[in-house]
Structure 1
Amino acid sequence: MDADEDKVFRALADAGRRELLDRLHAEDGQTLGQLCARMGITRQAVTKHLKVLEGANLVVPIRRGREKRHYLNPVPIQEVADRWIHKFERGRLLALADLKERLEGDHGG
């Protein structure tokens, strides 16, 4: 596993960081203040979580003037899903299709 994937897995391992990602998924482009108001944890804790998410490239901060907004970047999660989840789904889907075909064959359907 490469270092970037390690960072993604570490970032996703924490429930608070997953909640931040969920909140950004629901409403992208939030400020630190908006995220803090909805999290119920300190500003310092949210900032710390955001640094880890930024380090894993899961959150991208964009500064406009004095305002800094945080945006979800789902690409690293998709890459993890492609490598670690989707390849295992194929076998299961093929087995289900085979089972369906056999069951329909038994019933003449």
Structure 2
Amino acid sequence: MSIPPCEKVMLDIVAMFHQYSGDDGTIDVPGLVNLMRENFLNFLSGCEKSDTDYLSTAFEKKDEYKDKKINYSEFLSLLGDVAIDYHKIMHGAVLCFGGSQS
């Protein structure tokens, strides 16, 4: 049986999270940096030109429990911000605008 494209995207997101998360089911800052640099290289290239450290700011805002780790729910929220940025870019916004982080 074939997997529909959107369902495959969801399965890939779960697999990506598990690839970079620790045994406790969370991702720390170095893990998030690796995940983003390996999977969102073009996106981050615009962030490096901005005045803010996108990943540190995003991690800090998504780390709800302030334990220096993000769980799956917090990770999905971060991906939502990245998706919002991509949507804004399609409409002419500058790369790495900030999603709903502001």
Q: Which structure features the higher share of helix residues?
A: 1
> Greater CA radius of gyration, 1 or 2?
1
| TM-score of the pair, normalised by structure 2 | 0.26
